[in-house]
Amino acid sequence: MTSIELPAAADFHVHLRDGSMMETVVPTIKKGGVSLVYVMPNLVPPITTVEQALSYHARLQAIDSSVTYMMTLYLSPEITPAVIAEAAKTNEIFGVKSYPKGLTTNSESGVVSYTQYYPVFAAMEEHDLVLNLHGESPSSETTTVLNAEETFLPTLFDIHEKFPKLRIVLEHCTTAAAVEAVKKCGPTVAATITAHHLYLTIDQWADNPHCFCKPVAKLPSDRAALVKAATSGNPKFFLGTDSAPHPKSAKVGTATGKTAAGVFTQPYAVQYIATAFDRAGRVDMLKGFACDFGRAFYKIVEKGLGSKDGGVIVLSKDPGVVVVDTIGAGEGVVVPFHAGEKIWGLQWKA
Amino acid sequence: MTSIELPAAADFHVHLRDGSMMETVVPTIKKGGVSLVYVMPNLVPPITTVEQALSYHARLQAIDSSVTYMMTLYLSPEITPAVIAEAAKTNEIFGVKSYPKGLTTNSESGVVSYTQYYPVFAAMEEHDLVLNLHGESPSSETTTVLNAEETFLPTLFDIHEKFPKLRIVLEHCTTAAAVEAVKKCGPTVAATITAHHLYLTIDQWADNPHCFCKPVAKLPSDRAALVKAATSGNPKFFLGTDSAPHPKSAKVGTATGKTAAGVFTQPYAVQYIATAFDRAGRVDMLKGFACDFGRAFYKIVEKGLGSKDGGVIVLSKDPGVVVVDTIGAGEGVVVPFHAGEKIWGLQWKA
């Protein structure tokens, strides 16, 4: 199979930033074969009120109104059950995103912080909002970036047990352990898988800043488990690219000495996925993973979304395309994943 | 204890490069409290003949003749038993350094390549040259940078079993498994431990190019095992900094897009060690690790080396010093380990 027609894809984990970077990134959504995106709230400052979310939504619409933008709030003390009730009444906000504290404290204190939000989770369950979990424990004497996801899984089980009707997405899962955990949970628990984690292991990012992200890519056995889950047809696993644009100067460390975490995949989102599925010999499973399962989990039709959501894309293995070296210009120039490498091609059907 | 007098240290694993970088680095050897260095042969092209080694030795002497330079050859098909016999007659060459192939092939082919050098190892055993092992297996579907050292250990055992009198140094060991392996072997097997591996785990280098090296720093439990081995008083473990100067542009990836592997510690070699030993409450074990055990293993006195080797250094916790931001200038500027951080001070005793 060297060509395939699909409905436009949905990407349930994107970073579109704000300001000039937003201007650079938003036009690449459709280019990547995607008509609906679930937009992460980690701006500076983060999106913690309904008003902020609606204002951000309007800024995105102003750049490309043909895309459906679904918004999520940043879990923080400002998010109360009253805010959840208010958010649920909008047509734009569909979830709350939880980020780990990022502090080098022990994992127990991390778990305590989730308990603190149980009243919020109860309100989310009541109002049918989705909890988006960045599932990593803070570093400690026993936890590093390697097992930060696996050590978080008991917290996922805890929240799911306490709130069985709360829809939860374990975002950008990266390990065989996480795949198994999500499969073990009830149907209200799903996971997004990125494009880049279908390709990377630690060996690729160790010396390549453009492949470094959080959660970090792990072992070949973990990558194999992700490819298997993504191509399995299990509707618990669907596309969330976690595409994260950083200016090149933040990636190669010239700005701060450190490497910013994030891989930029937005402009070729579905093409990277198609290429990976093709390598696995499972292009037939692309539609479920990239188009259907996420929309079903988020109840797109049921919730009256997706009036603009649609269109048909055509993916082709031959001749394919070569990923450009950079997107954007000047200080905001971004290096896409696998720059210079050949991947599948994509066109929108007229 | 805030001040300590020691004999000048010996550093049994250094990269001094050639050309202008050599001019920058060699003057920092004494600055770091070291009077004797064991010089790695991975120049471009590598040092594979006695003549090359002696010529390189002369270039180093020309920069600072007060340092004792011990040379090692790069294990490659050019190294024959006849070359070993020739090397052993010199007063400058004391070993042969083995690098892994660095190819993404399976580990079995790596092991086969060591067998190919058994006649060389036999000659080295006969002529009492030291085998310096970079102990990592090539990447494969089951081997990554994380377990590359551990999966190499059976090869160490093999060589030691076949050549029990051959002195072997497992260079820059980074794992609890390697420490245990070296302890298990007979007295002809030792290991060097770097300064930076007493500090780093994967979490520190993941987003910091200046802390990225090969073998990569691993888990907190591995770091704890290295600190314990270095401060244990076991003479099988001694200082080899693996100080590896790379121009800043190669570390932050602006030159190639990739991060060069290596941490630069030469100018503060003993000070980093003293600071780490102090944190472990074992400054009393510094002399054995940094001054005595390596010299004993390499038979410095017995072999008639060390006529220049000497002097006394004074290390002091207070007020200490702050690591400079860069060493060198222009294109060759190098960022030292823990730039901007406070460490112990060092002076040579008049």
What would the pLDDT profile of A304-317 be if each residue is shown by its tens digit? 776 677 899 999 99
Quick count: other Cβ atoms within 10 Å of Cβ B223? 23
Is pLDDT larger for residue A305 or for residue A173? A173
Asked if residue A109 has pLDDT above 70, the reply is no
What would the pLDDT profile of B211-249 be if each residue is shown by its tens digit? 999 999 999 999 999 999 999 999 999 999 999 999 998
Of A144, A212, A254, the CB nearest to B207: A212
Chain A partners within 8 Å of B261 (Cβ) = 207
Tell me, what's the pLDDT at B190? 98
Query: Is A176 within 8 Å of B235 (Cβ atoms)?
Result: no
Chain A contact for B261, CB < 8 A?
yes
Chain B partners within 8 Å of A254 (Cβ) = 252, 254
Tell me, what's the pLDDT at B108? 34
Tell me, what's the pLDDT at A277? 98
- Mean pLDDT for chain A overall: 93
| Nearest by Cα to A332 from A34, A99, A28, A68 | A28
Query: Is B44 within 8 Å of B22 (Cβ atoms)?
Result: no
Query: Is A125 within 8 Å of A165 (Cβ atoms)?
Result: yes
Task: For A93, list phi and psi in degrees, rounded to 5.
Answer: -105, 130
Q: Rounded distance, CA A217 to CA A176, Å?
A: 12
Å from A215 to nearest chain B CA? Answer: 11
Helices B118-127 and B153-162 meet at what angle, rounded to 10?
60
Asked if residue A258 has pLDDT above 80, the reply is yes
Tell me, what's the pLDDT at B100? 82
**Stretch A186-206: mean pLDDT, rounded?**
98
What would the pLDDT profile of B60-95 be if each residue is shown by its tens digit? 999 999 999 999 999 988 999 999 999 999 999 999
Q: Which residues contact A181 (CB under 8 A, 6 or more apart)?
A: A153, A156, A157, A170
Token representation of residue B175 = 């794992």
Asked if residue A111 has pLDDT above 50, the reply is no
What one-character DSSP code corresponds to residue B327? B
The complex's ipTM works out to: 0.92
Chain A contact for B212, CB < 8 A?
yes
Domain A3-348: CATH superfamily is: Metal-dependent hydrolases (3.20.20.140)
Q: Which residues contact B298 (CB under 8 A, 6 or more apart)?
A: B12, B38, B70, B94, B130, B305
Asked if residue B264 has pLDDT above 60, the reply is yes
Instruction: Bin A347: left if φ > 0, else alpha if -120 < ψ < 50, else beta.
Output: beta
Query: Is B347 within 8 Å of B313 (Cβ atoms)?
Result: yes
Instruction: Bin B330: left if φ > 0, else alpha if -120 < ψ < 50, else beta.
Output: left
Query: Do the Cβ atoms of B209 and A209 come within 8 Å?
Result: yes
Query: Is B341 within 8 Å of B334 (Cβ atoms)?
Result: no
Tell me, what's the pLDDT at B103? 40
Chain A contact for B216, CB < 8 A?
yes
Query: Is A277 within 8 Å of A232 (Cβ atoms)?
Result: no
What would the pLDDT profile of B298-308 be if each residue is shown by its tens digit? 999 887 776 67
What would the pLDDT profile of B199-214 be if each residue is shown by its tens digit? 999 999 999 999 999 9
| Nearest by Cα to A36 from A97, A92, A87, A85 | A92
Å from B65 to nearest chain A CA? Answer: 36
What would the pLDDT profile of B269-298 be if each residue is shown by its tens digit? 999 999 999 999 999 999 999 999 999 999
Query: Do the Cβ atoms of A219 and B252 come within 8 Å?
Result: no
Of B142, B202, B253, the CB nearest to A209: B253
Tell me, what's the pLDDT at B310? 83
Tell me, what's the pLDDT at B107? 29
Tell me, what's the pLDDT at A20? 95
End-to-end CA distance of chain A: 22
Token representation of residue A157 = 């089980």
Tell me, what's the pLDDT at A106? 31
| Nearest by Cα to B176 from B100, B127, B133, B230 | B230
**Stretch A270-275: mean pLDDT, rounded?**
98
Chain B partners within 8 Å of A251 (Cβ) = 253
Tell me, what's the pLDDT at A1? 54
Query: Is B83 within 8 Å of B124 (Cβ atoms)?
Result: no
Pairing of strands A93-98, A3-7: unpaired
CA separation, residue A259 to residues A18, A205, A262, B210, B211 (Å)? 20, 11, 9, 10, 11
Tell me, what's the pLDDT at A306? 66
Q: Rounded distance, CA B246 to CA B256, Å?
A: 13
**Stretch A171-179: mean pLDDT, rounded?**
98
**Stretch A140-157: mean pLDDT, rounded?**
95
Lowest mean per-residue pLDDT among A96-105, A320-329, B144-153, B330-339: A96-105
What one-character DSSP code corresponds to residue B243? B
**Stretch A234-242: mean pLDDT, rounded?**
98
